[in-house]
Amino acid sequence: MNKSAQAISGHSVLHDIIPKLKTVDRLVNQTLAGLIETRHDAAQTAHYEKLKAEFQLELTMIRMNLEHLLKRYRHELEAVRNDTHQDVLLTLDAYEATAIENAKQLYRRVQALQTQGVT
């Protein structure tokens, strides 16, 4: 983990990170579940089940740290949500910074799976 202070804008958290996590969650719960149900090849089914479990574990860890960030900056984020012209810079602890980076990587991974037709 990077020990130097990292920051992210409140607007990015509310309008970029959270929507991306919802997209990943939807893919994991709908698309991969559907692929698992329709596979007749045991190896493919096992691959998709492992991938789904991997994504769910990563999402759980990201959510835990994101919830911590949302609680710490509850008032600041509420102000950003209520006034679209206002933004604040949120200082991340090492775990929150890791969670934000992991959320971005997971989203990119999901995007790549979608463009490849899920492999």
Tens digits of per-residue pLDDT, 66-109?
999 999 999 999 999 998 788 999 999 999 999 999 999 999 98
**Looking at residues 33-57, what average pLDDT do you find?**
88
- State the pTM of this model: 0.82
Check residue 1 and give its pLDDT.
44
* Measured distance CA(112)–CA(10) in Å, rounded: 27
SS3 state at 5: coil
Check residue 86 and give its pLDDT.
87
| Length in residues, the chain | 119
Check residue 94 and give its pLDDT.
95
* Closest among 60, 49, 67 to 24, alpha carbons compared: 60
Q: Do 90 and 70 meet the contact criterion of CB atoms below 8 Å apart? A: no
* Measured distance CA(10)–CA(45) in Å, rounded: 40
How does pLDDT run across 89-100, given as a tens digit for each residue? 999 999 999 999
Structural domain boundaries in the chain: 6-116
**Looking at residues 41-63, what average pLDDT do you find?**
92
